[in-house]
Amino acid sequence: MLANALGNDPYFEDKTVLLIDKDAKKTNDRTWCFWEKNEGDFDPIIAKSWSQIHFFSEDYAVNHKIAPYKYKMLRGLDFYNNYLNNIQSYDNITFLQDMVTGVVDHKNYVDVTTQGREFRATRVFNSIFDYTLLHQQSKYPVLQQHFIGWFIKSDKPIFNPENATFMDFSIPQKGNTRFMYVLPFSETEGLVEYTLFSAVTLDEQEYENAIKKYIKENLKCTEYEILEKEKGNIPMTCYNFSAKNSENVLYIGVAGGWAKPSTGYTFMNTNRKTKELVAFLKKNKPLSSFSNKDRYWYYDLLLLDILYKDNSKGRRIFESLFKGSSPQLIFKFLDEETNIGEDLKIISSCPRSYFLNALFNRMF
Ligand SMILES: Cc1cc2nc3c(=O)[nH]c(=O)nc-3n(C[C@H](O)[C@H](O)[C@H](O)COP(=O)(O)OP(=O)(O)OC[C@H]3O[C@@H](n4cnc5c(N)ncnc54)[C@H](O)[C@@H]3O)c2cc1C
């Protein structure tokens, strides 16, 4: 996204940009979903969108129309093909497939070492993410959004293609925050994803058994084909990612802390941050000054503190949230666009004692 934004903006015409990735980006290694009002930048390559979402809990179920929002889905491979194609059309950008082994900021320039070569740059945007840094500190809890999803095709209609299941908490929680996420593409094809917000990942078999059980018991289907699988792990933490930035090196994407700590949603945040970054680069300031903490960071921190201390509380919190607020307000809040009155409405719909205790523990 950033390389494309730089190539697309005449302001950077006299800059030479090298985009290095160890991978050729020729596989559909992920599916991105995000909500958005009306039309957006990615509409030409969106694979499917939904105007209604389901939320389920043990004894609560709701189906919401989400207008003016839509929940949109973009296949990774469509994004890579489209964006790499654009990037190739810019004379000042080169794509190189190589493994980066070192990035050193020498103040006046940055040295980048790859397996095969060395490069010198004035500015480097680094999206190499390393979990070990997060685990070397204890100030901020580190949870993970971890999941396995199956793209399935059934022999009879089992899905309603108009409704995406945003979170289904009716499944056994086993002391964690566990939910099923279902994206139906047609009556017979869809993605069924077993997701946790927790500190520790599971054995692969446990995710797969849960998906099998859900397809059989909840979707009432026994005859189906698995077309593809996806697997992911997104950090959920308020760790200060920007501490690693220097005058000429800025960490971006998940590595820059652009994943929303409380949800793991990163894609649209990256789109917004990329626009902010392009405007910031025109001011010619040190890259280390690009970032700021705001009140949403504190809200995320409190939620993560609660879920880290007692991971079973997630179901109750998300259930209260969806009972007390419209999905439109929840999306606005997660997009960090609400006013203080709206924040209070959202927060007061959640179990207050959990958040007051977490606030008290952070303050004292
Ligand atoms: C399966 C999956 C599904 C997701 N779904 C959603 C979703 O629905 N909505 C949402 O908002 N977010 C989602 N996310 C989270 C987030 O949007 C993605 O992880 C997103 O791809 C993050 O972008 P990024 O640029 O930080 O990292 P990446 O997209 O992972 O890009 C980093 C790049 O760096 C390259 N690289 C790494 N190390 C090196 C090295 N040493 N040298 C050279 N290249 C290197 C990698 O090959 C990769 O191409 C998902 C994540 C996963 C894994």
Query: pLDDT digit string (tens) for 322-332?
Result: 999 999 999 99
Is the CB of 234 inside a 6 Å radius of any atom of ligand 1?
Answer: yes
- Closest Cα to residue 103, out of 287, 282, 234, 239? 287
The tokens for 207 are 């995710």
pLDDT for the residue numbered 115: 96
Is the CB of 230 inside a 6 Å radius of any atom of ligand 1?
Answer: yes
Is the CB of 327 inside a 6 Å radius of any atom of ligand 1?
Answer: no
- Closest Cα to residue 7, out of 90, 102, 101? 90
- pLDDT tops 90 at residue 59: no
Measured distance CA(108)–CA(121) in Å, rounded: 9
- Closest Cα to residue 40, out of 284, 272, 290? 272
What confidence tier does 200 reach under pLDDT thresholds 50, 70, 90?
very high
pLDDT for the residue numbered 293: 79
Is the CB of 32 inside a 6 Å radius of any atom of ligand 1?
Answer: yes
pLDDT digits (tens, 9 = 90+) for 225-281: 999 999 999 999 999 999 999 999 999 999 999 999 999 999 999 999 999 999 999
For the chain, what is the mean pLDDT? Answer: 95
Task: Say what percent of the chain tops pLDDT 90.
Answer: 93
Task: Give the predicted TM-score (pTM) of the model.
Answer: 0.95
- Closest Cα to residue 175, out of 353, 314, 358? 314
In ligand 1, the atom with minimum distance to the C-alpha of 30 is 1
pLDDT for the residue numbered 333: 95
Measured distance CA(17)–CA(33) in Å, rounded: 29
Given phi > 0 = left and psi -120 to 50 = alpha, else beta, which region is 249?
A: beta
Is the CB of 307 inside a 6 Å radius of any atom of ligand 1?
Answer: no
Distance in Å, CA 28 to ligand 1 centroid: 12
What confidence tier does 352 reach under pLDDT thresholds 50, 70, 90?
confident
Task: Say what percent of the chain tops pLDDT 70.
Answer: 100
- Closest Cα to residue 146, out of 196, 93, 87, 83? 196
Is the CB of 321 inside a 6 Å radius of any atom of ligand 1?
Answer: no
pLDDT for the residue numbered 363: 83
What confidence tier does 103 reach under pLDDT thresholds 50, 70, 90?
very high
What confidence tier does 147 reach under pLDDT thresholds 50, 70, 90?
very high
pLDDT for the residue numbered 91: 95
Atom 26, ligand 1: residue with shortest CA distance: 253
- pLDDT tops 90 at residue 283: yes
